Chains A and B, each alone.
Chain A
Amino acid sequence: MPEVKLVNVTKRYKKITAIDHLNLHIQDGEYVTILGPTGSGKTTLLRLIAGLVKPDEGAIYIGSKLVNDLSPEERDVGYVFQNFALFPHLTVWQNVTFGPRVKYWNRERTTSLGWEMLEMVRLAERANAYPHELSGGMQQRIALARALTAGTKLLLLDEPLGALDARLRVELRYELKKFVNDLGLTAIHVTHDQEEAMTISDRIVVLRWGRVEQVGSPVELYLEPKSVFVANFVGEANFLEGIVEEVSKNKASIKIRGDLPISVLDVTHQKEERVVVAVRLENMVLKAGEVTGINHLFGRIKKIRFLGISMRYDIQLDNEDIITVKMPTAHVTQRFDMGDRVTVSFAPEKAVAYSYPIEGLAKELSVG
C-alpha cells in the first residue's frame, strides 16, 4: 500500500500554477527525491503533503487516508526545513522533545525516545546548548532528530543540506540516508542538486513548472532520460541538432550541422523530422588526429580542465558545434594540448534522439 499518494493535485498562486494536475505514488519505505530547478514547485509539493498549504484541486493520501482537510499537526509527518527552524529560545533537548511534549506524551517515553535520537545523531553531550552555539552541520542533525523524535513514519526534507558547505553536504547526505534506512522510514527529499539526488534516492521525481517530467531510479533517469530537459538536468550531455535522413530497422541516419552524418539507435522518428541527439559526456571517446569511422567527428581542442576525478575537454568540431568529453583522470593514457587536432566518437547505442523541442532547444536546456 502506498504511503503517499497524490491524485490530480493542483495549486495556484494568483496567476501562477505552482503544481499542475500532479499524480504521484510513493511506496512505504522508499527514499524519494523531488528534483527540479527553482520555481519547479518542489517546495510547494512538500508543503502540500505536510498540510502547510491546501490544494486547490485534487486529493492527497497519507497511508491511504485522505488528508486534504487535516491540519499539519494532525498529519503526523516529520519536516526538516532548509534553514533548520530550530527554536532559538529553547535548548537542544527542548527542541528535540518539542513534538512529544506538545502532544502530551508519557514523560518516560519522551525522555527515552529523545535520548535515542540524540545519540543517533551523536549530539547527546550538547543537549543543554542553544542552537546558535552549534555549527551548521550540528544544527542540521538536531533538526533531523527533532523531526524524528515525534515518532513519525514519514519524513519530509526541504533542501535539508542547502544551507551547508559543499564538502559537508557530501558527508552528511550519506548519514541522512543511513538514518532513514535504519529507522525504516519513508522519506521525501526536495533538492535542486542532481548529484545529491543520484546518491541517495531509491527513485527520483523530476519536476518542472509544477509537472512531473519523469520518475525513475537514478539508473533509469541517467541511462534512459525521456526528454531533452531530463537528459540535461540529470547529469550532463552533448546536444546535436539535426534532421533525420534515413530510417532503417533500428537505426536512424541523421545529418547534423555542416551536413555531417551520424548514426543513432532509434525507432521513433521519421524521415525529415527535426531532432536533437544527446550523448553523455563520458560516452564520448577522444582520439588524437583524424580517425575515420561511424560517428567519428573531427575537431580541435578548445579547452582542457582538470576536475580531479575527471578531465574535461571542450572540442570545437569542424562544423562549429562544441562537444564536451569527460574522461576519468586515472584512465587517461594520452596527453592532449590546446589546439590539438582530434577525433570525437561515440557508439550509436550510446546516443539518444529526441524530437526537436517546440519552444526551441535553448529554452529547453535553460536551467535558470
Chain B
Amino acid sequence: MPDVKLVNITKKYGKVVAADAVNLQIQDKEYVTILGPSGCGKTTIIKIIAGVINPDEGEVYINDKKVNDVPPEDRGVGYVFQNIVLFPNMNVWDNVTYGPRVKNLNLTQSNKLAREMLDLIRLTVRSDAYPYELSGGMQQKVATTRALTSGANLLLLDEPLGALDARVRAELRHELRRLVKDLGLTAFHVTHDQEEAMAISDRIIIMKKGRIIEIGAPEELYIRPKTIFGANFIGEANFMEGRVTKIGENGVEVELRGGLIIQTSDKYHKTGDKVVIAVRPDYVTLETGEKPELNGLFGRIEKRQFLGGFTRYEVRLDNGDIIAVHAPSELGEKLLDINTRVTSHFDPENVLVYTYPGEGLKTELALE
C-alpha cells in the first residue's frame, strides 16, 4: 500500500509553474529523494505533502486518505528544514519533546523514546544545551530527532544537509538513512546534491522546472538513464552529437562529427535519426598510442587532474570533441602525461543513445 500519493498536483506562483501536473507514489518504508536544480519545484512538492502549502489542483493522499484539507498539525508528518529551525528559546530536551507535549501524548512513553533517540545520535549529554551552543551538524541531528520523536511515520526532509560543511554532510547523510531504516519510517528527502541522493535513496525522482523527468533506483539512473538531463544530472557524462547510419545486429551504428563511427547496443532508433550519444567517463578506458579497435577513438591528452581515488583526463579527439575519462588510481596505472597520443575506448553496452532534443542540446543540459 503506497504511503504517499500525489495525483496531478499543480502549483503556480504568478506566471511561474512550480509544480506541473505531478504524479508520484511512494511505498511504505521507502527512502525516496527528489533531486533537481534550484527552482525545479522540489521544495514546493514537499511543502504540499506537509500541508504547509495548498496545491492549486490535484490531490494528496497519505496512507490512502485524501489529506488536501487536513492542516499540517494533523497530518502526522515530521519535517526537517534546511536552516534547521530549532526553537531558540528552548533547550535540546524541550525541543525534542515538543511534539509529544503539544499533542498531550502519553509523556512517559514519549520521554522514553526521546531519551533513546538522543542516545542514538550521541547527544544525551547535551540535553540542557541551547541551540546556539551547538555546531551545525549537532543542531541538525537534534532537529531530525525532534521530527522523529513527534510520533510521525512519514519524515520529510527539505535539503536537511544544505547548511553544513561538505565533510559533515558526507558523514551525516549515512546517519540519516540509518535512523530512518532502523525506525522503519518512510522518508521523503529533497536535495540538489546528486551524490547525496545516490548514497541514501531507495529511489530517486529527478525534477526539472516543475516536472518529473525520471524516476528510478540509483543504479538504474546511473547505468541506464532514460533522459539526457538525467544522464547529465546524476554523475557525469560525455555527450556527442551524431546521426544513425546503420542498424547493426546488436545495436545501431552512429556517425559522430568528423566521420567517427560508434557501435552501440541501442535497438530503438532508426537510420537517419539525429541523436546524442552519452558515455560516462568511468566507462572509458585509455591506452597509449593508436590502437585500432571497436569504438576506439584517437586523440591527445589535453588536461590531467588528480582527484584522489582516480585521475580525470580530458582528451581532445581528432574530430575536435573533448571527452572526459576517469581512470582509477589504484589499479597501478601510471599517470599519463599531457600531449600523449591515446586511444579512448568504451563498450557498446555502455553507450547511451538519445534522440536529439527538440530545443537543442545546450538547453537540455542547462542546470538553471
Residue B1, interface by CB 8 Å: no
Q: Which residues between 234 and 266 of chain A lie within 8 Å of chain B, taking CB atoms? A: 234-236
Query: In the bound complex, how far is the Cα of B304 from the Cα of A199, in angstroms?
Result: 10
Pairwise interchain contact B330-A282, C-beta atoms closer than 8 A: yes
CB <8 Å contact, A367 and B194: no
- Chain B residues in 8 Å Cβ range of A305: 199
- Interface: A331 (CB within 8 A): yes
Residues in A with CB closer than 8 Å to B280 are: 309
133-157 of chain B: CB within 8 A of chain A? 135-137
Which B residues between 227 and 262 are near A, CB-CB below 8 angstroms? 233-236
Write the B207-227 contact mask toward A (1 if CB under 8 angstroms, else 0).
000000000001100100000
Q: Say which one of B70-78, B100-108, B163-171, B265-273 lies at the interface with A.
A: B163-171
B193 with A166: CB separation less than 8 A:
yes
Q: How far in angstroms is the closest Cβ of chain A from B171?
A: 7
| CB neighbours of B233 from chain A (8 A) | 167
- A192 & B307 in contact (Cβ 8 Å cutoff): no
Residues on the A chain within 8 Å of B198, using CB = 306-308
Closest B residue to A167 using CB positions: B367
User: Is there an interface contact between A282 and B328, defined as CB atoms closer than 8 Å?
Assistant: yes
- Of B167, B218, B308, B310, which is within 8 A of A328 by CB? B310
Does chain B have a CB within 8 A of A137? yes
Which of A136, A137, A192, A326 is within 8 Å of B166, CB to CB? A192
Give Cα distance in the complex from A204 to B100, angstroms. Answer: 49
Minimum CB–CB distance from B178 to chain A (whole Å) comes to: 9
Contact partners of A192 in chain B: CB under 8 A: 165-167
Flag if A165 contacts B166 (CB, 8 Å).
Answer: no
Q: Check if A358 is an interface residue, CB within 8 A of chain B.
A: no
Instruction: Collect the chain A residues with CB atoms within 8 Å of residue B218's CB.
Output: 306-308
A91 interface hit (Cβ, 8 Å)? no
B43–chain A nearest beta-carbon distance, Å: 13
- A-contact bits for B299-320, CB 8 A (1 contact / 0 none): 0000001111110100000000
Q: Does B125 contact A (CB under 8 A)?
A: no
The complex places the Cα of A37 from the Cα of B164 at a distance, in Å, of 10
Task: State A235–B170 Cα separation when bound (angstroms).
Answer: 11
Query: Does residue B283 face the partner (Cβ distance < 8 Å to A)?
Result: yes
- The answer to the question of B110 belonging to the interface, with a C-beta cut-off of 8 Å to chain A, is no
- List the A residue with the shortest CB-CB distance to B178: A303
The docked-state distance in angstroms from the alpha carbon of A235 to that of B37 is 26
Task: Pick the residue among A308, A331, A368 that contacts B136 (CB under 8 A).
Answer: A368
Smallest beta-carbon distance A312→chain B, Å:
8
Q: Does A319 interact with chain B (Cβ within 8 Å)?
A: no
Do B307 and A281 touch across chains, with their CB atoms under 8 A apart? no
Cβ B328 vs Cβ A367 within 8 A: no
Are A368's CB and B137's CB within 8 A?
yes
- Known contacts A137-B368, A368-B137; 15 additional CB pairs below 8 A are A37-B167, A165-B37, A165-B192, A167-B194, A194-B167, A198-B308, A199-B307, A233-B167, A305-B199, A307-B218, A328-B282, A328-B310, A328-B328, A367-B167, A368-B165
A135 to B330, CA, bound (A): 40
| Chain A residues whose CB sits within 8 angstroms of the CB of B196 once the complex forms | 166
B189 at the interface (CB under 8 A from A): no
**Residues 209-221 of chain A: 1 if any B CB is under 8 Å from the residue's CB, otherwise 0?**
0000000001100
How far does the alpha carbon of A226 sit from the alpha carbon of B356 in the complex, in Å? 50
Provide the bound-state CA to CA distance between A235 and B330, in Å.
Answer: 14
A197 to B309, CA, bound (A): 14
Counting CB contacts under 8 A, is A71 at the interface?
no
A64 / chain B contacts, CB cutoff of 8 Å: none
Say yes or no for A17: interface residue by CB 8 A criterion.
no
Report the separation of the CA atoms of residues A282 and B333 in the bound assembly, to the nearest whole angstrom. Answer: 14
Chain A, Cβ-Cβ closest to B164? A368
Residues of A near B199 (CB, < 8 A) are 305, 307, 312
Query: Which of A165, A166, A235, A326 makes the CB contact (< 8 A) with B195?
Result: A166
CA distance A165 to B195 in the complex (A): 12
Q: Which residues of A contact B329 (CB under 8 A)?
A: 282
Whether A310 pairs with B309 at a CB distance below 8 angstroms is yes
User: Do residues A193 and B166 form an inter-chain contact, with CB atoms below 8 A?
Assistant: yes
As a 0/1 sequence over residues 100 to 121 of chain A, the CB contacts with chain B under 8 angstroms (1 = contact) are 0000000000000000000000
Contact between A137 and B330, CB atoms less than 8 A apart:
no
A283 within 8 A of B: yes
The CA-CA distance from A271 to B307 in the complex, in Å, is 35
A330 within 8 A of B: yes
Assess whether A168 is in contact with B219, with CB atoms less than 8 Å apart.
Answer: no
Q: Across the two chains, which residue of chain A brings its CB closest to B329?
A: A282
Q: Does A280 contact B (CB under 8 A)?
A: yes
- Complex Cα–Cα for A307 and B312 (A): 17
Interface: A290 (CB within 8 A): no
Q: Which B residues touch A368, using CB under 8 A?
A: 135-137, 164-165, 167-168
How near does chain B come to A191, taking the closest CB pair, in angstroms? 8
Q: Which residues of chain A from 301 to 341 have a CB within 8 Å of any chain B CB?
A: 305-310, 312, 326, 328-331
